[in-house]
């Protein structure tokens, strides 16, 4: 899947789930925490979305802002997970 | 905490003066502001509700205070025993209302257990549980809750909650605080009393309460006091020693759960100083020695305080009207 497509899917999820139509100001590098877009419950919903959409389970040690705090970071994280799955036995949907 | 640090002394108050000030305020609010004849205090056997009961008895007279005990199936037996100790030492009337049957009728326990089974399918009769946060001080982590379950055989397991499980557990257990408040207002209606809220500053500021549950009250006489200041008042007022020594607990889950484990993930005396530091613009570098924490840890706490405040906005919001 193209990086731009993944970014767009994540953006759509965040717009629908947390921004309720206020879509103009979210940039791919914006921190969800600093902008107050997603709280800790929202992160749980985001992780469920990643699992349902891409088959990626976010492990406990991976549930950190470095991996999930912006659209850009999530894309990088998903790519890394996909690469490690291809190197092993897993087959992602990315 | 380094008690020799000048910053550690910032939260010292003159308990006699503060007591006088609060007592005068309660009297004014209850009798003149609200025009009620006394106060109902939900007494849990913890330090905060005990101090509020002592303050109300001093302000209104013991004959105008009702101590209400509302244990339920998961309450520690200590809560009722210590609550009775407060009422007896004050000479106030008390009423015991076991709310377990209300909670059963609302399917509180059934709904909670169903939510837990979303992540621990074998959870059932004889199991105990609590929810906890990971350590948020030593790394940038999300405040994501885990459920700790204990089997009837005593084995424990810790599992990260999904969004549906977390929200299901919280929505179910919030029945407890709301049932308690419903009962407090029943007696307030019956006696023409007001309801005293018992949050301290940390709880009030950081949203450690249930909206329309323990967050509801007619007045909140210690919501401006840091936890360590509540302890200073307790000592001054003569709150029984056992209550002063009791570790704070939420008394909401069947496994023992400290408040810091549930919410602050930091010992409360340190959280006090961090909240003070945050509100008074004290740089993390200056606070570090006083709280015996690293600069990065304090900066994380400062960010956490901001984040909690954003989440607490909804909890504090009064019903919004459309003009």
Task: Report the pLDDT value the prediction gives residue B313, as an integer from 0 to 100.
Answer: 93
DSSP-derived 3-state class of residue B166: helix
Distance CA B258, CA B198 (A): 17
DSSP-derived 3-state class of residue B189: helix
Task: Report the pLDDT value the prediction gives residue B219, as an integer from 0 to 100.
Answer: 98
Order of strands, sheet of B156-160, starting from the edge strand that comes earlier in the sequence: B128-132, B146-150, B156-160
B291 or B86: which carries more pLDDT confidence? B86
Q: What's the pLDDT band for B91 if we cut at 50, 70, 90?
A: very high
Give the residue from A42, A70, A74 showing the smallest Cα distance to A58: A74
Range of the domain at A42: 3-19+31-82
Distance CA B89, CA B288 (A): 41
Distance CA B138, CA B134 (A): 10
DSSP-derived 3-state class of residue B131: strand
Q: In A, which residues are within 8 Å of B141 by CB distance? A: 63-65
Q: Is residue A91 part of a domain?
A: no
Q: In A, which residues are within 8 Å of B139 by CB distance? A: 64
Q: Is residue A73 part of a domain?
A: yes
Structure tokens at B56: 């109300």
DSSP letter, residue B11: T
Buried b (16+ CB within 10 A) or exposed e, B254-266: bbebbbbbbbbbb
pLDDT of B66 over the 90 cut: yes
**B238 neighbors B91 (Cβ within 8 angstroms):** no
CATH numbers and ranges of domains, chain B? 6-105+168-316 (3.40.50.620), 113-167 (no CATH)
Helix (H) or strand (E) holding B96: strand B93-96
Nearest residue, CB atoms, B140 vs list A43, A47, A64 = A64
Nearest CA in chain B to A66: B140
DSSP-derived 3-state class of residue B294: coil
Q: Is residue A51 part of a domain?
A: yes
Count how many domains chain A has. 1
Q: For the residues B51-57, what does the mean pLDDT come to?
A: 98
Q: How far does the CA of residue B153 sit from the closest CA of chain A (Å)?
A: 26
pTM, rounded to two decimals: 0.91
Choice among A10-24, B64-78, B205-219, B290-304 with the minimum mean pLDDT: A10-24
pLDDT in tens, chain A (94 residues): 788 899 999 999 999 999 887 766 788 999 998 888 888 889 999 999 999 999 999 998 999 999 999 999 999 999 999 888 776 554 457 7
Q: What's the pLDDT band for B3 if we cut at 50, 70, 90?
A: very low
Instruction: Please write the tens of the pLDDT for every residue from B207-255.
Output: 999 999 999 999 999 999 999 999 999 999 999 999 999 887 777 788 8
Helix (H) or strand (E) holding B69: strand B65-69
Could you give the C-alpha distances from B58 to B67, B109, B234, in angstroms and in order? 14, 38, 13
For residue B167, report the phi and psi dihedrals to the nearest 5 degrees.
Answer: -65, -35
Choice among B85-94, B130-139, B162-171 with the minimum mean pLDDT: B130-139
In this complex, do B163 and A41 lie within 8 Å of one another by their Cβ atoms? yes
Residues above pLDDT 70, as percent of chain B = 95
Task: Report the pLDDT value the prediction gives residue B4, as an integer from 0 to 100.
Answer: 47
Q: In B, which residues are within 8 Å of A39 by CB distance? A: 307, 310-311
DSSP letter, residue B152: T
DSSP letter, residue B248: P
CATH code for the domain of A13: 1.10.1200.10
Sign of the four-CA dihedral B250, B251, B252, B253: positive
List beta partners, residue B68: B42, B95
User: Residue written as tokens 């000030």?
Assistant: B21
Task: Report the pLDDT value the prediction gives residue A24, as an integer from 0 to 100.
Answer: 67
Q: How many CB atoms lie within 10 A of CB A28?
A: 15
Give the residue from B25, B87, B39 showing the smallest Cα distance to B197: B39
Q: How many residues in total does chain B contain?
A: 323
Q: In A, which residues are within 8 Å of B311 by CB distance? A: 39
CA angle A54, A56, A62 (to 5 degrees): 140
**Judging by DSSP bridges, how do beta strands B128-132 and B156-160 pair with one another?**
unpaired
Nearest residue, CB atoms, B141 vs list A39, A41, A64 = A64
Q: For the residues B286-292, what does the mean pLDDT come to?
A: 90
Task: Report the pLDDT value the prediction gives residue B2, as an integer from 0 to 100.
Answer: 42
Q: For the residues B167-176, what does the mean pLDDT come to?
A: 96
Q: Is residue A38 part of a domain?
A: yes
Give the residue from B197, B199, B181 showing the smallest Cα distance to B189: B181
Phi/psi zone of residue B82: left (φ > 0), alpha (ψ -120 to 50 degrees), beta? Answer: alpha
Distance CA B104, CA B73 (A): 10
Q: Is residue A57 part of a domain?
A: yes
């Amino acid at each position: 899947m193209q990086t731009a497509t993944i970014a767009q899917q994540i953006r759509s999820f965040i717009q629908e789930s947390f921004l309720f139509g206020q879509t103009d100001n979210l940039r791919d590098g914006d921190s969800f925490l600093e902008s107050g877009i997603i709280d800790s419950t929202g992160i749980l919903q985001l992780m469920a979305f990643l699992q349902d959409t891409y088959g990626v389970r976010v492990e406990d040690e991976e549930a950190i802002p470095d991996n999930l705090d912006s659209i850009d970071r999530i894309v990088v994280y998903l790519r890394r997970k996909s690469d490690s799955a291809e190197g092993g036995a897993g087959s992602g949907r990315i | 905490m380094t008690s020799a640090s000048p910053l550690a002394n910032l939260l010292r108050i003159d308990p006699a003066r503060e007591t006088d000030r609060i007592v005068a305020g309660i009297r004014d609010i209850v009798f003149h502001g609200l025009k009620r004849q006394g106060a109902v205090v939900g007494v849990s056997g913890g330090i905060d509700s005990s101090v509020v009961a002592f303050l109300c008895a001093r302000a209104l007279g013991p004959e105008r205070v009702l101590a209400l005990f509302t244990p339920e199936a998961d309450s520690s037996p200590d809560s009722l025993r210590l609550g009775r100790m407060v009422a007896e030492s004050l000479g106030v009337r008390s009423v015991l209302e076991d709310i377990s049957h209300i909670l059963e009728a609302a399917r509180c326990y059934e709904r909670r257990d169903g939510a837990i089974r979303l992540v621990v399918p074998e959870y059932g009769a004889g199991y105990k549980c609590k929810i906890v946060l990971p350590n948020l001080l030593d790394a940038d982590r999300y405040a994501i809750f885990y459920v700790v379950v204990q089997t009837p055989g005593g084995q424990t397991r810790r599992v990260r909650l999904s969004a549906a499980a977390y929200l299901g557990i919280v929505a179910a257990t919030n029945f407890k605080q709301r049932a308690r408040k419903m009962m407090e207002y029943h007696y307030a209606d019956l006696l023409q009393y007001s309801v005293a809220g018992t949050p301290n500053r940390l709880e009030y500021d950081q949203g450690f309460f249930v909206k329309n549950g323990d967050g509801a009250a007619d007045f909140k006489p210690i919501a401006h006091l840091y936890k360590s200041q509540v302890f200073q008042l307790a000592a001054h007022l003569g709150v029984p020693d056992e209550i002063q020594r009791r570790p704070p607990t939420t008394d909401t889950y069947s496994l023992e759960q400290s408040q810091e484990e549930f919410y602050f993930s930091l010992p409360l005396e340190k959280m006090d100083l961090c909240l003070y530091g945050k509100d008074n613009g004290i740089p993390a570098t200056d606070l570090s020695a006083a709280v015996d924490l690293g600069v990065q840890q304090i900066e994380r706490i400062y960010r956490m305080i901001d984040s909690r405040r954003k989440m607490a906005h909804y909890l504090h919001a009064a019903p919004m009207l459309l003009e």
